[in-house]
Amino acid sequence: AQTVTQSQPEMSVQEAETVTLSCTYDTSESNYYLFWYKQPPSRQMILVIRQEAYKQQNATENRFSVNFQKAAKSFSLKISDSQLGDTAMYFCAFMKPGRSQGGKLIFGQGTELSVKP
């Protein structure tokens, strides 16, 4: 069974600085998807970034980028130029594609990020 581990329950960063959130996963599959979701205090789950395992290039979305290390089974999220609005819980998630898998997401425990002024 696949597992996802986020080893940093809490992190803080000064506004305008860069922070990296860690995520490791365990799978024997070669094809899969990885996601970072953001959950602000409003509780709404928001997709931040997505990575397909077959793509070697790391995904980037504006100030958010990932460092995907397939052999190490590591998927970290880097937030550049941190803003107060980045304060949230961040979840790493894993999905196996394919009709028989049903598109289920397996989540890590979450990292609570505080951006300080």
Rule CB under 8 A: which residues touch other proteins?
A: 4, 6, 9, 33, 35, 42-45, 47, 50, 91, 95, 97, 99, 102-110
Assign 4 to helix, strand or coil: strand
Chain CA centroid to CA 5, Å: 11
Which residue's CB is nearer to other proteins, number 14 or number 44?
44
The least CB distance from residue 47 to other proteins, in Å, is: 5
Single-letter residue type at 98: G
Yes or no: say if 47 and 60 are a contact pair by the CB < 8 Å rule: no
The least CB distance from residue 52 to other proteins, in Å, is: 9
